[in-house]
């Protein structure tokens, strides 16, 4: 399933370049409204400045990951139909895409959890949850748009909390419980964070060079501009490509095998 949850821009109708809004900032060069095509989007749904996004002020595009929702909505939900020639379909697609993106994020976590040795005793529950979320993502556009995705996220979160506890258990508790902690700009170079609970923590701009994050839980952690050069994240759980893309790393950064090394890392 992991392959289905990786973005395939060549099979998408450029949905993230149209359906989402962004604001002029250090991440984006201009403002853009929901439903307004990015000025760099070409007629064939390709990006006209893809190789130079960061240099042209669109680093936010290099961080974003749709978990494969773009090609799912384009090729399966709408059978390969685009948004350019039908305003009604366009509005519907732009409403469906972010919901499917959230469902695919849940599938990313669940597909990882079901394979974790520590969660062996929960595999039945996790597989059922995985199948239920996948079924929702396969729904009609109308069903997807009407979905209470927050409720589905909460249901899955209950399971993921238990999985995180099981993964971290061998490392002990105490000082490593930093759930939701404000670690913005923290100096954690070389820190022993094995089995740490960093769920929802704020690590923006933190120095984690050479830190040991094996077995740590990073679901929802904000890794924008976090310095991960030389850090070891092997065995860290619930890490996403978006988080890694937002951080800084180098050839010495060790990532979980499900994740790709960002092209912009030095």
Structure confidence at residue 2 (pLDDT) = 79
Provide the b/e sequence for 100-109 (b: ≥16 CB within 10 Å). bbbbbbbbbb
pLDDT of 172 reads 77
Same domain membership, residue 129 and residue 242: no
Same domain, 146 and 30: yes
For the segment 161-179, the average pLDDT, to the nearest whole number, is: 86
* Residue that finishes a domain, picked among 167, 200, 233: 167
Instruction: Mark whether 57 and 120 lie in a shared domain.
Output: yes
147 Cβ contact list (under 8 Å, min separation 6): 99, 136, 139
Same domain, 68 and 160: yes
Same domain assignment for residues 52 and 8: yes
Q: Are residues 47 and 151 in the same domain?
A: yes
Same domain for 139 and 251?
no
Residue where one domain finishes, among candidates 167, 202, 224: 167
Local confidence band at 3 (pLDDT 50, 70, 90 cut-offs): confident
Render 116-157 in DSSP notation, one character per residue.
-GGGGGGHHHHHHHHHHHHHHHTS-HHHHHT--HHHHHHHHH
pLDDT at 38 over 80: yes
What percent of the chain clears pLDDT 90, i.e. is strictly above it?
A: 94
Q: Are both 178 and 103 inside the same structural domain?
A: no
Q: Give residue 176's pLDDT.
A: 75
> How far is the first Cα of the chain from the last one, in angstroms, to the nearest whole number?
30
Contact 4, 69 (CB under 8 A): no
Task: Give the integer Cα–Cα distance in Å for 120 and 62.
Answer: 35
Same-domain pairing of 151 and 181: no
Supply the range of the domain harboring residue 92: 2-167
Q: Are residue 199 and residue 254 in the same domain, yes or no?
A: yes
Tokens standing for residue 103: 């469902």
CATH number for the domain spanning 181: value is 2.160.20.80
pLDDT tens digits, residue range 188-222? 999 999 999 999 999 999 999 999 999 999 999 99
159 lies in the same domain as 176: no
CA dist., res. 110 & res. 137, Å (int): 14
- Tell me, yes or no, whether 214 and 158 share the same domain: no
Q: What is the pTM of this model?
A: 0.95
């Amino acid at each position: 399933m992991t392959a289905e949850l990786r973005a395939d821009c060549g099979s998408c109708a450029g949905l993230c370049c149209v359906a989402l809004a962004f604001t002029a900032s250090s991440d984006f060069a201009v403002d853009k409204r929901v439903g307004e095509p990015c000025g760099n989007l070409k007629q064939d749904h390709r990006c006209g400045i893809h190789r130079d996004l960061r240099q042209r002020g669109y680093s936010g595009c290099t961080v974003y990951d749709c978990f494969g929702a773009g090609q799912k909505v384009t090729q399966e939900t709408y059978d390969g139909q685009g948004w350019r020639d039908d305003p009604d379909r366009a509005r519907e697609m732009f409403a469906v895409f972010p919901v499917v993106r959230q469902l695919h994020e849940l599938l990313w976590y669940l597909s990882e959890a079901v394979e974790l040795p520590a969660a062996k005793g929960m595999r039945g529950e996790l597989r059922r949850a995985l199948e239920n979320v996948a079924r929702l993502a396969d729904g009609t556009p109308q069903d997807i748009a009407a979905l209470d995705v927050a409720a589905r996220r909460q249901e899955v979160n209950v399971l993921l909390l238990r999985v995180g506890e099981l993964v971290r258990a061998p490392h002990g508790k105490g000082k490593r419980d930093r759930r939701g902690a404000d670690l913005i700009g923290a100096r954690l170079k070389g820190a022993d964070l094995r089995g740490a609970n960093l769920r929802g923590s704020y690590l923006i701009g933190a120095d984690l060079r050479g830190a040991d994050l094996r077995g740590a839980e990073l679901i929802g952690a904000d890794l924008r501009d976090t310095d991960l050069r030389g850090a070891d994240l092997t065995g860290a759980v619930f890490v996403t490509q978006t988080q890694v893309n937002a951080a800084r790393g180098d050839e010495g950064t060790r990532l979980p095998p499900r994740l790709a090394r960002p092209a912009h890392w030095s």
